[in-house]
Amino acid sequence: MESTPVLSSSTFHTTRWTRVCLAQADSEDGRRALADLCDAYYEPVVAFLRCELRDADAARDMSHAFFAEILAGDAIHSADPARGRFRAYLLGAVKHFLSHQRKAARRVKRGGGVEAVPLEDEACAVADARQPAPDAEFDRQWAVTMLARSLEALRQECRTQGRETFFETVKPLLMGEGSHGDHSALAQASGMNVDAFRMAVHRLKKRLRLCVKAEVAGTLDDPAMVQEEMQALFAALGG
């Protein structure tokens, strides 16, 4: 029978904030940890800025500037695990950065300079009914990022067990993209009967949920907040 490793709450509470604390150290490991954090959470920041600036290229440029400032300066030292959610810290940090850039742009404008990107608040004043709120889009992309990282963790786990091909075969089912009618053909392709196939998929779904729980817990100060945060992320995904 396939065994399922058990992840304890102490195992959950190790990743993102641990990396943040390491990133605060003035060392090669600290700089590498900070670069990893920037890479991991680039897309939620871009999503937020895209909604704020209404310009995809400007959002990418501003995201690069935001993370460059973090990598070059002391901003990460204000990240305090005791404040709770790393998600909230990063959103607050990019809002502060954008506000500072807008103020600087207004000063340049008053001095006769030319704005390089549409930073002014007026650029966001006329809301498109089809455009999601910036905070909501940040949360949605954060949830997408959490799920993607969890899927990758599960894929690596399956790879170490020699089951990566099976994982790739059933990945659409794990994501809720497959139908019950697919099971028979996929089971046959996997060399399994339907009942065994469904049981294997069920186990992987349980493992995926544990991977999501581990990923989410690592962004929190209090492990007791995990369930609440997972509910918020599923809500952000629309389910």
pLDDT tens, 19-70? Answer: 666 666 677 776 776 777 778 889 999 999 999 998 999 999 999 898 888 7
Query: Does the residue 99 lie in any domain?
Result: yes
Residue in 82, 78, 23 with CA at minimum distance from that of residue 221: 82
pLDDT for position 90: 87
Residue 139: pLDDT over 80? yes
User: Residues 172-196: pLDDT tens digits?
Assistant: 899 887 665 678 888 998 999 999 9
pLDDT for position 129: 55
Least confident span in 30-34, 85-89, 114-118, 127-131 = 114-118
Average pLDDT of the residues in 68-89: 73
Query: Does the residue 52 lie in any domain?
Result: yes
Given the structure tokens 């995926």, which residue do they identify?
Answer: 208
Quote the Cα angle for 147-63-87, to 5°: 40
pTM score: 0.76
Query: Does the residue 70 lie in any domain?
Result: yes
State the pLDDT confidence band at 10, using cuts at 50, 70 and 90: very low
pLDDT for position 14: 43
Residue 7: pLDDT over 70? no
Q: What is the mean pLDDT of the chain?
A: 79
Least confident span in 3-7, 119-123, 179-183 = 3-7
User: Residues 14-30: pLDDT tens digits?
Assistant: 456 666 666 666 777 76
d(CA 111, CA 99): 19
DSSP string covering 71-109: HHSSGGGG--GGG--HHHHHHHHHHHHHHHHHHHHHHHH
Amino acid in position 40: A
Query: Does the residue 79 lie in any domain?
Result: yes
Residue 8: pLDDT over 50? no
| 156-190 burial code (b ≥16 CB/10 A, e <16) | ebbeeeebeebbebbbebbeeeeeeeebeebbeeb
Q: How many domains does the chain have?
A: 1
Query: Does the residue 116 lie in any domain?
Result: yes
Query: Does the residue 207 lie in any domain?
Result: yes
User: Residues 191-219: pLDDT tens digits?
Assistant: 999 999 999 999 999 999 999 998 888 88
Residue 156 belongs to what domain range? 9-236
Task: Decide if 215 contacts 229 (C-beta within 8 A).
Answer: no
Query: Does the residue 75 lie in any domain?
Result: yes
Query: Does the residue 4 lie in any domain?
Result: no
pLDDT for position 86: 82
